Each structure stands twice: as C-alpha cells, then as structure tokens.
A and B are shown apart, each in its own frame.
Chain A
Amino acid sequence: MGDVIEAPSVPRAGTVRPEAGRSAALSVSNVSLVYAGGRGREVVALDRVSLDVSPNEFCVIVGPSGCGKSSLLYLIAGLNEATSGQMAVNGVSVHEPGPDRGMVFQGYTLFPWLTVRQNIEYGPKRQGMSAAERSGIVDRYLAEIGLTQFAEHYPAMLSGGMRQRVAIARALANDPGVLLMDEPFGALDSQTRATMQKLLLRIWEQHKKTVLFVTHDIDEALLLGDRVVVMSARPGRIKAELSIALPRPRSMDLALEPDFIALKRRILDLLRDEIDEEH
C-alpha cells in the first residue's frame, strides 16, 4: 500500500451526479481495484464494492487482514484510481485528493521536519487561515490529545502512540467534512485507546462529521459505529452490513449488555467464516 505519489488525473471541477446516492455524503458504487503486480501477480483488492454513507454517519469497516480496507480508503481519499466503478462525496465525483476528505493513515505519516504544533497547523495554514486563528485551533487540539507540553517537539522524539494522537489532531484540525480513519488506534495502549475513542466520539457529536473508520477491534466497532460493514478477503467484497442501534452516548459499560453481545457474536461468526475459508 501507499506507493501513490501522483494525484490521479487533471484537476477538474467535480461533476455533480445526482443519481448516485442523492442523500449520501459518501457513495461508492461498484468499485473494483486490481493491483497490477506484473506477470501472475495481479491482486484483485476490491471486487464491485458498493457503500453509501449518510451525512454525519459513523460507519465502521471490519475485515480480515489484506481484504482491501486501506485500499478502499485510499480510493475514497483520491490517492489512487479505481479500476472501475464510481465514487462521489456529497454528490461530487472523486477524481483527486482534497482537504474535504481528511485521512488518518495506518502507518506514521507525520512530517518529521515539523514540530507537533506545526504538524497540526499544516492543514489550516494551507487553507490560508490567519496565524491567530490557527494557534487557537492548535492549542485546543493539543489540549484534547494531552500533548500541550510536547508542542515544540519533533515527531522523532515522541512515542508511537503520541505520534498517532498528533496525526489524528492534524486531520481533525483541518475540519474535513469526511474523515477517513485507517486503524487509527491500532498502536495505542488500552487506556490511551479508550481516551481517544471518547475524544473522537465527542468531536464527532459536536462537529457532526461523516466518518469512515477501519478497525480490527470489534468492541471498538460497536462502541463507535452507527453501522458496521464486514468485508471478506480476496477479492475484497462487502459481506454484510449491521446497523448498530445501541443508544448514545455509549461507553464500554455497554459491553455487558445482551444486545452488544449478540452483535459481537454475529460479527465474530462472519469473520470466523472468512478466516476458515482462508485455511
């Protein structure tokens, strides 16, 4: 993943395609992606995937490793081109990356030459926000991720979990309409993970964002999501969608409720089938 340096295609004003999910903030229809790996090494990463995410919905994707979750997020972010199919954000079809779709990557992607403060400030600065406005936003996010004292540190001086928190703040500070998150809490210890989940839920409830969130952790999926999408591996397809009607605000106390346990069992069964098929 991630050998995508070129922003595909010419910059061009998006064409409005009202037929594709009129009410969807994010609509993916019949998208396939084949990686051309050279002779006999083609990988069908995604096979006719369709997914509509409504405005302000928190949609979670779970699936076995290598099923194309990251690939799907890269496509929506406009960082890679689908082999076939269409994608649209707020009715505007996706041809190139843009600040309307923020992304937290699976690996570390902080800019090593910028301090924590400058990293978080990067997006607002690109958008031409004034220095005073920027510093207000940065200070707020620094406080929220608990790294105010590390504002002037370079990423190399931070722990893995601290870096990922900065990456999340960097994406949020840019205030994107759609937030794509690729296992953002995967590297965090369980306490920090719980704090970050709470923070994310609070921000999502306050700022009303459309979120597409990838995770391996089913508890996390059920804690966060309005809907959980289960993918199958090779070729990556959408296997099932579960709507999560658990009451909000949620906390991990839910984990003992029968509804939660029933949902968890269904997702586990769906995933177990996948893994059995692999072997």
Chain B
Amino acid sequence: MAQDLAMEAPGSRSRAEASPAGQAPARRRSRTWTPFAAPSSSQNFVLASAVWALIAGCWAALSYGGVVSSMFLPTPTAVFERAVAMIGDGSLLTHALSSVQVVMIGFALSSLVAVPVGLWMGTYAPVRAAIEPVVNFIRYLPVTSFVPLFILWIGIGLQQRVTVIVFGVFFQQLVMVADSARGIARDLVNAAYTLGTKRSEVVWHIVFPATLPAILDMLRVTAGWAWTYLVVAELVAASSGLGYISLRAMRGFQVDTIFLAVLTIGFLGLVTDLFFRLLRRKLAPWAM
C-alpha cells in the first residue's frame, strides 16, 4: 500500500528524467495520513498520552491557577487526597462494587434475552411483525420519565436500578441485533441449505455466527449506555453506588468526591471496553 503510493506514475517518471533536475529519487510518503493505515502501537500510545496530558494540564491550570473557584472545580491534589481517604476506609470499593453489581446484573439480563430474540426477529418475518412496532414505540420513550413509576412499583432497592438499566438498554439491543441478523448475505443461507442445513438450524448454525462480530460490537457500545442509566437510577433512588455518592457529595458541596466518582465510572468504562475488545478477538478471530 505505502509502496504503491510512493511509486510515481510511469508518465511522470519519464518527464522527470527529461527535465534537467530529474535525478530526485521517488519521495516516500509518510504512512501517518494514509487512510486506514495499520496503526502503530508506539504512535498510538504517544497520541493518547498527549491528549490525556492536555486534559490534565487544563484541569491543573484552571484549578491551581485559581481561575475557577475550588468550590466548583477541585484541584487534582484534593481529588487524590479524597481518593486515598476513600480507598483507605474501603468506602470507594463498596460503592464501586455496588454499582458494578447492578450494571452487570442489568446488562447480562438484558443481553441474554435481547440476543436470541433479536436473532429470531431478524430471521423470521412473523416475529418481527409481531414485536417490532411495540419495540419501536418503547424505544423512543425517555427512560428517565419511567424512574418515578419504577420507584412506585418496585421501591428503591437493587431491583429498581436493574429495571432502569434493562429498560434503557434492552430495546436498543434488540433492534441492533435484529438489524444485523437481517443484513447477513442471503447466499450464506442458500449455501447452507444446499449443504443439508435444515430450516430450523439456520438461526443457530448460520445467522448467529455470521452476526457474532456485530453482536459483540453492539454489546461493547450498549455496555456504555448501561453505565449511563445506572447513574440515572442511582441519582434518583439508591443508598449506595457511585451515582449515589455523587449526589450526596453535591449536597455537601464536595466537588472532589463528585470528581472521584466520575473518574471511577470512567475508569470502569475503560475496563469494560477493553474486556469487550478482548472478547471479540477471542470469539470472532476471523473478523478483525
């Protein structure tokens, strides 16, 4: 690829030779801005670190420099001290675990149902005809508007937060899986039939593996949404969790704690993302 680009067209070469200054060797183009060029891990690391450093630098300048009052923007030192304190007494871990538990239960419940139902929906027209209108109706309802109703029905326990996550994520997952399943190459199914696959086997033997890379990408994206809905649920009604400590900290004007909670959620999100990337590499090595 890079070599192709670096080569000159035969026409321009002969013109260059004819010109008096025609000795210049073909200039090698840098790969950096070649569209879709293979990434280089050292370059990626430098670029990512630079952006992190820039954000941290702005934060430090604004807070240490006193541009923004420490009542609204904590200094990195304050957040660090808060982190040491809350890790020390174990409260950060307790709240983080509480949040992680809710996200995992809600996300797993939702995914375990959305993936098979989505595959059926994408494969069988009657299933789609039956549930698609309802799904599309619910999908556009703002989850937040249901939180009061859920509190009324379910209370403020674990079940309520899990319900909010499931409600927020499930219908989107369903539509994404169904669309991927519907989009697979029909000739894959046709080829499978001529090799003796029965109609009842098509979903499991063809549609599922053909859709697997898209399913794993979908899980990675919707895991992020699950965290969003978790915090929504915890802000309104919870007695533990990272969203809950943020809300409590707001009442006491402890911006350092809010920052710590937000940073922790961001960090857990990063770990989740990495997990799904590794999972995709493991489960779908054919589609890199």
Are B187 and A109 interface neighbours, CB within 8 A? yes
Are B286 and A154 interface neighbours, CB within 8 A? yes
Q: Contacts of B206 on A, CB cut-off 8 Å?
A: 111
Interface mask (A118-131 → B, CB under 8 Å = 1, otherwise 0): 00001100110000
- The tally of residues in B whose CB lies under 8 Å from a CB in A reads 24
Are B195 and A79 interface neighbours, CB within 8 A? no
Q: Contacts of B235 on A, CB cut-off 8 Å?
A: none
Asked if A99 is an interface residue, CB under 8 A from chain B, the answer is: yes
Chain A, range 1-40, C-beta contacts under 8 Å to B:
2-7, 11
Best-buried of B123, B187, B194, B210 by chain A (most CB within 10 Å): B194
Q: Contacts of B196 on A, CB cut-off 8 Å?
A: 98-99, 123, 126-127, 174
B209 to chain A, nearest CB (A): 4
Asked if A105 is an interface residue, CB under 8 A from chain B, the answer is: yes
Chain B, range 81-126, C-beta contacts under 8 Å to A:
123
- Complex partner residue of A112 from B193, B201, B287, CB under 8 angstroms: B287
Chain B, range 109-152, C-beta contacts under 8 Å to A:
123
Are A113 and B210 interface neighbours, CB within 8 A? yes
Best-buried of A98, A113, A171 by chain B (most CB within 10 Å): A113
Are A79 and B190 interface neighbours, CB within 8 A? yes
A98→B197 CA distance, assembly (Å): 8
Interface mask (A159-192 → B, CB under 8 Å = 1, otherwise 0): 0000000000011001010001000000000000
Q: Contacts of B194 on A, CB cut-off 8 Å?
A: 77, 79, 97-99, 101-103, 171, 176, 180
A126→B185 CA distance, assembly (Å): 21
Tell me what chain A mostly uses at the interface: helix, strand, loop, or mixed.
loop
- Complex partner residue of A154 from B188, B192, B285, CB under 8 angstroms: B285
Are A97 and B285 interface neighbours, CB within 8 A? no
- The tally of residues in A whose CB lies under 8 Å from a CB in B reads 37
A114→B191 CA distance, assembly (Å): 14
Q: Which residue of B lies closest to A99 (CB)?
A: B196
Q: Contacts of A154 on B, CB cut-off 8 Å?
A: 285-286
A175 to chain B, nearest CB (A): 11
- Complex partner residue of B195 from A96, A123, A156, A180, CB under 8 angstroms: A123
Interface mask (A74-106 → B, CB under 8 Å = 1, otherwise 0): 100111000000000000000011110111010
B72 to chain A, nearest CB (A): 52
Chain B, range 205-221, C-beta contacts under 8 Å to A:
206, 209-210, 212
A77→B185 CA distance, assembly (Å): 18
A196 to chain B, nearest CB (A): 19
Are A113 and B191 interface neighbours, CB within 8 A? no
Are B195 and A2 interface neighbours, CB within 8 A? no
Asked if B199 is an interface residue, CB under 8 A from chain A, the answer is: yes
Asked if A107 is an interface residue, CB under 8 A from chain B, the answer is: yes
A78→B286 CA distance, assembly (Å): 30
Are B287 and A156 interface neighbours, CB within 8 A? yes
Asked if B189 is an interface residue, CB under 8 A from chain A, the answer is: yes
Best-buried of B185, B195, B209 by chain A (most CB within 10 Å): B195
Q: Contacts of A113 on B, CB cut-off 8 Å?
A: 209-210, 212, 284, 286-287
Q: A11-B199, A79-B193, A113-B212 are in contact. Are A156 and B188 (CB under 8 A)?
A: no
Question: Could you write out 10 A-B pairs with CB less than 8 Å apart?
Answer: A5-B190, A6-B199, A99-B196, A103-B191, A111-B191, A112-B286, A123-B195, A123-B196, A126-B197, A126-B201
User: Apart from A5-B189, A6-B199, A174-B196, what 12 extra A-B contacts exist at CB < 8 Å?
Assistant: A3-B186, A5-B186, A7-B193, A7-B199, A77-B193, A96-B193, A97-B190, A99-B195, A113-B287, A154-B285, A156-B286, A156-B287
A contact residues vs B (CB 8 Å cutoff): 2-7, 11, 74, 77-79, 96-99, 101-103, 105, 107, 109, 111-114, 122-123, 126-127, 154-156, 170-171, 174, 176, 180
The 8 closest A-B pairs by CB, nearest first: A99-B196, A97-B193, A123-B195, A109-B191, A154-B286, A113-B209, A126-B196, A103-B194
